[in-house]
Amino acid sequence: MEQCWRWYGPDDPVTLDHVKQAGATGVVSALHNIYDGRAWPLTDILERKRIIEAEGLTWSVVESIPVHNSIKIGSAERLRYVGWYKDTIRALAKAGIATICYNFMPVVDWTRTDLAYRLPTTGYALRFDAIDFAAYDLFVLKRRNAEASYSAARIAEAESRLKELSDEQIDRIERNLIAGLPATERSYDSDSFREALAEYDSIGPKELRDNLAWFLREIIPVAEQEGVRMCIHPDDPPFSLYGLPRIVSTVEDARFILNAVDSPANGLTFCIGSYGTRADNDIVGMVKEFADRIHFVHLRNVTIEDDGSFYEAEHLEGGTDMAHVILALMQEETRRRKQGRADWRIPMRPDHGHLLADDIGKTRINPGYSLIGRLKGLAELRGIMRAVERFELA
């Protein structure tokens, strides 16, 4: 597998020297300053590529090109924005970048309530506390009809939890939930967030799924023409938040997406931690089923708690058997190589490392994307890969 590293560009506190020191050879990046649906200028793409290649690295994957909200809700504006999206695909192909990750999550991107959950190791992890989330949704945001999203027992738990939280803790939870995590497309205050949610009042899972299928029918022919592999990232977490539909969460969702436009250019970003946050997802089974359409992999692990909360575990711990995931992916690489596929090597990156050692206390840290935790994770994952090469694929 191609060992890659997410890099947020020249302003990232983790430098390209650090990327090389971690042992990665590929970079996962994007033009994060352009998030409003406009086409990415080829000149800007080439400049980012030049910076990466000047350090002896390769820009292997784009993560992500934002999908404008008009496409998700199916408004008349979507024709203009999908046209710009196609222009960006063509520009990236012209620059020689052929793997493009994107997501179709409405309003909010990846979501956590706690960005510094202290572990027994004394490191810090990202955490989603299901009761804190419900308390915010029901009693702080006061979303209209929020009660319909929760059981009576969960509402009672949330009300009790709210009484335990200080004003400072509530403010921190709100910032974490709606102010924007790394690579999210928008940040909100509570009023603008309610307005964004209202745009989905008439959008349920069927409507959102129809709009995704329309989007795929528009862009995948362009990707085919340009030799580009599109790969959709799953919902994180893979269940409804704020009453919003989420349609990239289960094995059935993945089957629908791949069948919507049955093309090698229409593939998956297989994020182990996202799919793995649902106990009913058989992760190893899904990897095997979708292997030939997996174009990019995020390797991370989560521990799910009894109340539906979860936190980011060590890369080789948590609820997913990471060794068997890597074995299945590397077996797929062997199969592709025998078929003569040019894209036989699957790019991967270690995702959401713990905050460890000298990174603790630094003021310029992208939550989940500190150096040392991901370096440790990549080293552990690399060890599994070497063992598979030596003992299983030799």
Tell me the per-residue pLDDT of 224-234, one tens digit each, with 9 for 90 and over.
Answer: 999 999 999 99
Q: Rounded to 5 degrees, what angle do the CA atoms 116, 240, 183 make?
A: 50
CB 165 within 8 A of CB 139: no
User: Looking at residue 181, what is its pLDDT?
Assistant: 59
Contacts of 314 (CB under 8 A, 6+ apart): 301, 354, 377, 380
pLDDT over 80 at 180, yes or no: no
Tell me the per-residue pLDDT of 282-305, one tens digit each, with 9 for 90 and over.
Answer: 999 999 999 999 999 999 999 999
**Between these two residues, 119 and 394, which has the higher pLDDT value?**
119
Q: State pLDDT tens for residues 192-239.
A: 999 999 999 999 999 999 999 999 999 999 999 999 999 999 999 999
Tell me what pLDDT residue 182 has.
59
Residue 189 binned pLDDT confidence (cut-offs 50, 70, 90): confident
- Tell me how far apart the alpha carbons of residues 272 and 286 are, in angstroms, rounded to a whole number: 10
Confidence of residue 187 (pLDDT cuts 50, 70, 90): confident
Active-site pick, 114, 235, 351, 359: 351
The CA-CA-CA angle for residues 177, 180, 184, to 5°, reads 120
Predicted TM-score of the model (pTM): 0.96
Region 131-153: mean pLDDT is: 97
H helix count then E strand count, the chain = 14, 12
* Spatial CB neighbours of 178, under 8 Å, sequence gap ≥ 6: 108, 187, 188, 189, 190, 193
Per-residue pLDDT tens over the stretch 21-66: 999 999 999 999 998 999 999 999 999 999 999 999 999 999 999 9
Report the number of distinct structural domains present in the chain.
Answer: 1
Q: What angle do CA 43, 108, 62 make, to 5 degrees?
A: 30
Residue 258 lies in a domain: yes
Q: Please report whether residue 95 resides in a domain.
A: yes
Q: Are 239 and 245 in contact (CB under 8 A)?
A: no
Residue 136 within a domain: no
Q: Is residue 319 part of a domain?
A: yes
Catalytic residue among 298, 315, 354, 359: 298
Question: Does 140 map to a domain?
Answer: no
Identify the pLDDT of residue 87.
Answer: 99
Q: 233, 295, 315, 354: which one is catalytic?
A: 233
Residue 29 to residue 122: CA distance in whole angstroms: 30
Q: Is 18 known to be catalytic?
A: no
DSSP SS3 for 231: strand
* Helix residue ranges, H only, the chain: 16-21, 42-53, 69-73, 78-94, 130-135, 152-164, 167-178, 190-198, 205-226, 251-260, 272-275, 283-289, 322-339, 371-391
Burial status of residue 33 (CB atoms within 10 A of its CB: 0-12, 13-18, 19 or more): exposed
- Indicate the residue type of 332: E
Q: How confident is the model at residue 188, as a pLDDT? A: 86
Does 19 reside within a domain? Answer: yes
In whole angstroms, give the CA distance from residue 241 to residue 36.
Answer: 23
Nearest to 328 by CA among 348, 302, 342: 348
CA separation for the pair 113, 308 (Å, rounded): 13
pLDDT of residue 349: 98
271 is catalytic: yes
Question: Considering 68, 295, 315, 352, which one is annotated as catalytic?
Answer: 352
In a domain, 138, yes or no: no
Residue 32: active-site member: no
* Domain span at 330: 2-111+198-391
Rg (CA), the chain: 20
Strand partners, 266: 230
Q: What is the CATH number of the domain that holds 308?
A: 3.20.20.150
DSSP 355: B
Any catalytic annotation for residue 351?
A: yes
Q: Is 354 a catalytic residue?
A: no
Question: 231 Cβ partners below 8 Å, 6+ apart?
Answer: 99, 100, 101, 102, 267, 268, 269, 294, 295, 296
In this structure, is residue 325 part of a structural domain?
yes
pLDDT at position 183 is 55
